[in-house]
Amino acid sequence: MNEFHGSRGEKESTKRSIMTQTETTAKKSVAAKVKAGSDVTVASEPKKAAKPAAKKKSGQAFPFTAIVGQEEMKLSLILNIIDPRIGGVLVMGHRGTGKSTTVRALAEVLPLIERVKDDTYNRTVDQFIEGEEAKKGQKAIDPTKLKTEKIPVPVVDLPLGATEDRVCGTIDIEQALTSGVKAFEPGLLAQANRGFLYIDEVNLLDDHLVDVLLDVAASGKNVVEREGISIRHPARFVLVGSGNPEEGELRPQLLDRFGLHARIITILDIAKRVDIVKRRREFDDDPDAFMKKYNREQLKLQKKIQTAKDLLPEVTMTDQVLTDIARLCMNLGIDGHRGELTITRTAFAHAAFLGQKEVTMKHVREIAGLCLRHRLRKDPLETLDAGEKIDRELAKVLGEAEAV
Amino acid sequence: MIAFTDIVGMDLAKQALMLLAVDSELGGVVIPSAVGSGKSTIARAFAGILPEGTPFVELPLNVTEDRLIGGVDLEATLATGTRVVQHGVLSKAHGGVLYVDSISLLDSSAVSHIMDAISRGEVLVEREGLSEVHPAKFMLVGTYDPSDGEVRMGLLDRIGIIVPFTAQNDYRARKKIVNTVLGKRDEEDTRDELNMLTGLIQAAKEQLPHVSITKEQVQALIQTALSLGVEGNRVDIFTVRAALASAALAQRSDVDEEDMKQAIKLVLIPRATRMPEREAEANDMPPEEEPPPPDEEQEAEDEEAKSDTPDSEAEEEQKETPDMIEELMMDAIEMELPDNILNISLASKKKTTTGSRGEALNNKRGRFVRAQPGEMRSGKVALIPTLISAAPWQETRRRDKKLSNRPKTALIITKDDVKIKRFRDKSGTLFIFMVDASGSMALNRMRQAKGAVASLLQNAYVHRDQVSLISFRGKQAQVLLPPSQSVDRAKRELDVLPTGGGTPLASALYLGWETAKQARTKGISQIMFVLITDGRGNIGLQATFDPNAEKISKEDLEKEIEALSLSIQSDGIASIVVDTQMNYLSRGEAPKLAQKLGGRYFYLPNAKAEQIVEAALSF
């Protein structure tokens, strides 16, 4: 079994290194330049000002499995891969604890997805047909004629300085100048469709970008209207944010959007810290050798995630567990139903990750803090930690359940 | 320009820069220093000891986002018809030095971009239809005057070396500096010395890969970081690197004690949140004492976890290290640092008076950062960006039938083109709480103030408000919570509030005024003082600067307060005075104080936090 996956994995990893996220976007093809309106012609492949070689950065990411500690964050990310409907994760915590390193390492352990070949929006065949046929004057597309390809789940980095037009997409200025053609150039939201959108220092993001994100995250669609072009494309992504709470608070609506909230603190164990220093130095000295050393573990994790994804539809939950979850949320005074929903989904994913087919309260207990921490009413004078509070209520709920 | 070798004094800064020259992976050096102590001179001289051709880019404080990150060069793009990309300052510094003078005054979005570039080693340009990655691996050298405010912690965390702040007070050293500046030394000497130094650094660079550090030494460094309460794990890597670079400079192949001391001094101690000796719980606890570490429990847990592991070898090492560390650390601390490093930034604040620069910046209501699409009515129209954004479409629009029946104008501008100016304006209010922590009612007042701070911060996001808390007791006032929006931070910093002692009201007003001025330079224009006190000060301002100051008469005390109040009032700072004392004790000082400050007086015996907030917001 190992051998089989070893060879398959190798192929995958070579493919992975060739098809880095940024390169796939560099290959923006004719399909990406969307026809819009009758007076607009489809432009030929634009000559991009020679993309610098530095684009190939994902090869340099520190391996996910070599990251020491910070289990809460790692689990949150993995559960989101298993079920993207969990709604993303917010990682908040101390400086210098490997938040962004971990998220950026994620790309290497992600499974593959299938999309229509060279489609910038990463659409499946069905989505592609639905989207394209809705356009004026478009004839029916024969699904069997469409070529597909497998790509790694995209991880798109949204830097703080991004402008709105790059996030949502805009009209290609170069083509407008050279050929007077209006061609739409998809933005980061397009690239992130069906993948992860990562925002470091999310608590410092500009308000107008937060507005855009909230809007798109709620509807799953990105709509751009400019210069008489109207574009609408799917933009469903797992939102991953990280930051240090001391630098500023997150807008409440955005906070609520995140399914999970992982907390990350300075590691105080000396042995672990020595290990961190050792691994980091090893990686800096010879990244390739280091990657090789962890290749096996990376593939193992990747496979475990894929297995969990396959198992997920078979996982079940009894009504009793569901009732207990509802009671827990009620007792904690959590508004709305997003709390229950997130716990349920996350518990399913967690059970699947552990290879178990039935969700028990043990699973719930392990993820309840992640799901609810940020949904509790914030009381600055409260001395009890949010996690402890959740644990305490959970124990109460379980105690009742046992007594009955 | 003055050569690196000609600079007198600032030895620590020089050592720090040399370590950086040996190992650029240390990320950078931050040098806090008072005005006129030659901090920018030394930073610029640093360029002279780097290999020839190393970029040295100075970052202007008022840099706009597109200059910083890079973007489309619209002028060239329009002229040539192809997209021309302009690299930003961050990418121009690639492979060299990015120098920021007054780094503490850099606005927060610029700081964020710098942080991002450091952590990636490149800049992601996702702007104006452009998607590029520019390499941006640079050494950051930042200098600042601590009286201008502190550098953001997140940024400091990504910079390896922070030079401990020591004011250059020795007049003889100063004289020498002046002499160096005025009377130029023999140029040949200088050149020789410089050559020697660059040779030394080059040799150290070659030596660096051959230097080794033992596991025990790494453990000792980490243990030190832990006992100093340094946040994060990134710092370990910097400490180890600094020790290695120090050994390389001495042409050794093993790290020795001196190297470790150097690393502790330049990397760890400036980040300390607590001093290692913790037994000083006496009544006479100085007000500067930090709250006890919140993570003590966890530490204990970790200790337990460790003893569970059967690795006896590791245990033995554990036993061995503490002595060594203590010795190292004490040595390092004693060498050239002031008594209480935790108090440094505050100490420096008291020594310097803010110059005219702070005032000049006050008049600005935020700073133009960039133009962004928006409704014409919702802000100031940025004319040039609007025209530029309309320019490329002229040809297509003239052909567009819908637009061609419009009256003939030179330019066809649609509402899509309109760009409005975006200012970085923190339009919220900074509430500076000044809490009288002296006397018997102190605990009560503190609780009220804490509640009020918490309550204000609940809604801080919405209003963009910030809260700061100054407590005054004993000889002087102290900033317990610098201006902040963070509930978490307030919670942590206000965990333990020392009380009792005299009532240095004047010192509080002064510190509050300084805090207000700093906030103004960062774009916060509305400031409100919330004084929770009975208004009875009994310690003069002099005592704040000089512990041996003579007792001041009541009249002089009054005059001090009056003068300060006048300055505060004329700076447009609003004040309220909340008196929570029981009525029979009041002698009417609090209402008088309110009058002096041109503020309002609230008498709220046993006030609840919400009442104080209400009072603050009602004004």
Say which of B113, B125, B157 has its CB closest to residue A96: B157
Note the pLDDT tens digit of each residue in B565-576. Answer: 888 888 888 888
SS (HEC) of chain A: CHHHHHHHHHHHHHHHHHCCHHHHHHCCCHHHCCCCCCCCCCCCCCCCCCCCHHHCCHHHCCCHHHCCCCHHHHHHHHHHHHCHHHCCEEEEECCCCCHHHHHHHHHHHCCEEEEECCCCCCCCHHHHHHHHHCCCCCCCCCHHHCCEEEEECCEEECCCCCCHHHHHEEECHHHHHHHCCCCEEECHHHHHCCEEEEEECHHHCCHHHHHHHHHHHHHCEEEEEECCEEEEEECCEEEEEEECHHHCCCCHHHHHHCCEEEEECCCCCHHHHHHHHHHHHHHHHCHHHHHHHHHHHHHHHHHHHHHHHHHHHHCEECHHHHHHHHHHHHHCCCCCCHHHHHHHHHHHHHHHHCCCCEECHHHHHHHHHHHHHHHCCCCCCCCCCHHHHHHHHHHHHHHHHHHC
| Contact list, A252 vs chain B (CB under 8 Å) | 461
Probe site for chain A from B75, B120, B150, B396 (most A CB atoms < 10 A)? B396
B208/A contact by beta carbon, under 8 A:
no
For residues B28-46, b (16+ Cβ closer than 10 Å) or e, as one string? bbbbbbbeebbbbbbbbbb
Listed ranges A386-390, B425-429, B488-492; the one with the highest mean pLDDT = A386-390
Binary contact (B82, A174; C-beta < 8 A): yes
| Contact list, B454 vs chain A (CB under 8 Å) | 379-381
Distance of CA A119 to the CA centre of its chain: 19
Confidence of residue A36 (pLDDT cuts 50, 70, 90): very low
Stretch B416-440: mean pLDDT, rounded? 74
Structure tokens at B342: 């935790």
B319/A contact by beta carbon, under 8 A:
no
Say which of B78, B108, B154 has its CB closest to residue A244: B154
**CATH top-level class of A29-34+56-264:** alpha beta
Q: What is the pLDDT of residue B260?
A: 92
Binary contact (A25, B131; C-beta < 8 A): yes
Stretch B406-411: mean pLDDT, rounded? 67
Q: pLDDT at residue A256 above 70?
A: yes
Q: Among residues B613, B607, B541, which one has the least CA distance to residue B576?
A: B613
What ipTM goes with this model?
A: 0.71
Q: Helix and strand tally (H, E) in chain B?
A: 27, 17
- Average pLDDT over all residues of chain B: 74
Q: Which residue has the higher pLDDT, A334 or A321?
A: A321
For residues B455 and B448, give the distance between their C-alpha atoms in angstroms, rounded to a whole number.
Answer: 10
Q: What is the pLDDT of residue B321?
A: 46
Note the pLDDT tens digit of each residue in B91-103. Answer: 999 999 999 988 9
- Under 8 Å CB pairs connecting chains A and B tally to 216
Stretch A35-45: mean pLDDT, rounded? 36
Continuous segment of H or E residues that includes residue B567: helix B554-570
- Total residue length of chain A: 404
A338 is catalytic: yes
Say which amino acid occupies A351. A
Number of other residues whose CB lies within 10 A of the CB of residue B160: 29
Q: What is the pLDDT of residue A353?
A: 96
Q: What is the pLDDT of residue B286?
A: 40
Q: What is the pLDDT of residue B355?
A: 29
Q: Where are the domains of chain A?
A: 29-34+56-264, 315-403
% of residues, chain A, pLDDT over 70? 80
Binary contact (A177, B392; C-beta < 8 A): yes
Q: What is the pLDDT of residue B479?
A: 85
Q: pLDDT at residue B204 above 50?
A: yes
Note the pLDDT tens digit of each residue in B296-333. Answer: 444 444 444 444 444 444 444 444 444 555 565 555 55
| Contact list, A168 vs chain B (CB under 8 Å) | none
What is the DSSP secondary structure assignment for residue B38, as one 8-state letter?
A: S
Binary contact (B78, A268; C-beta < 8 A): no
Say which amino acid occupies B505. L
Stretch A39-45: mean pLDDT, rounded? 36
B450/A contact by beta carbon, under 8 A:
yes
Binary contact (B122, A57; C-beta < 8 A): yes
Stretch B540-551: mean pLDDT, rounded? 70
Q: What is the pLDDT of residue B90?
A: 94
Q: Which residue is listed with tokens 């087919």?
A: A357
Kindly give, in sequence order, each residue whose CB lies less than 8 Å from that of residue B159, ignoring residues fewer than 6 positions away: B27, B28, B29, B30, B118, B140, B142
Stretch A221-228: mean pLDDT, rounded? 80
Q: Which of A338, A345, A365, A392 is catalytic?
A: A338
Q: What is the pLDDT of residue B304?
A: 41
- Contact in structure between A260 and A79 (CB atoms under 8 Å): yes
Q: What is the pLDDT of residue A45?
A: 37
Confidence of residue B221 (pLDDT cuts 50, 70, 90): very high
B127/A contact by beta carbon, under 8 A:
yes
Å between B122 CA and nearest CA of chain A: 8
Q: Among residues B210, B264, B213, which one has the least CA distance to residue B235?
A: B264
Confidence of residue B587 (pLDDT cuts 50, 70, 90): low
Binary contact (B69, A165; C-beta < 8 A): no
Binary contact (A267, B399; C-beta < 8 A): no
Which of residues 346 through 405 in chain B touch A, CB cutoff 8 A?
Answer: 370, 372-373, 392-393, 395-396, 399-400, 402
Q: Among residues B335, B312, B317, which one has the least CA distance to residue B257?
A: B335
Note the pLDDT tens digit of each residue in A46-73. Answer: 333 333 333 334 446 889 999 998 899 9
Q: What is the pLDDT of residue A81?
A: 93
Q: What is the pLDDT of residue A384?
A: 64
Binary contact (B295, A200; C-beta < 8 A): no
Note the pLDDT tens digit of each residue in A272-315. Answer: 999 999 999 899 888 999 999 999 999 999 999 999 999 999 99
Q: What is the pLDDT of residue B500?
A: 72
Say which of A39, A162, A273 has its CB closest to residue B126: A162
Choose which CATH entry (3.30.70.260, 3.40.50.170, 1.10.8.80, 3.40.50.12780) describes domain A315-403. Answer: 1.10.8.80
Q: pLDDT at residue A339 above 80?
A: yes
Q: Which residue has the higher pLDDT, A327 or B341?
A: A327
| Contact list, B235 vs chain A (CB under 8 Å) | 96
Query: What SS3 class is residue B498?
Result: coil
Note the pLDDT tens digit of each residue in B44-78. Answer: 889 888 888 899 999 988 888 888 998 888 777 77
Which of residues 492 through 551 in chain B touch A, CB cutoff 8 A?
Answer: none
Note the pLDDT tens digit of each residue in A143-197. Answer: 788 888 988 889 998 988 788 888 888 877 777 767 767 778 888 999 999 999 9
Q: pLDDT at residue B377 above 80?
A: no
* Beta-ladder partners of A175: none
Q: Which residue has the higher pLDDT, B38 or A382?
A: B38
Note the pLDDT tens digit of each residue in B512-543. Answer: 988 888 887 777 778 889 888 878 788 877 77
Q: pLDDT at residue A341 above 70?
A: yes
Structural domains in chain B?
4-209 (3.40.50.300), 211-273+295-340 (no CATH), 367-424 (no CATH), 427-618 (3.40.50.410)
Q: What is the pLDDT of residue A5?
A: 42
Probe site for chain B from A20, A56, A163, A256 (most B CB atoms < 10 A)? A163
* Beta-ladder partners of A117: none
Note the pLDDT tens digit of each residue in B331-360. Answer: 555 443 433 333 333 223 322 333 222 222
Count CA within 13 A, CB hemisphere, residue A334: 28
B76/A contact by beta carbon, under 8 A:
no
Binary contact (B126, A158; C-beta < 8 A): yes
Q: Using alpha carbons only, what angle is made at residue B544 by residues B538 and B549, rounded to the nearest 5 degrees?
A: 80
Binary contact (B461, A244; C-beta < 8 A): no
B291/A contact by beta carbon, under 8 A:
no
Å between A177 CA and nearest CA of chain B: 6
% of residues, chain B, pLDDT over 70? 71
Confidence of residue B388 (pLDDT cuts 50, 70, 90): confident
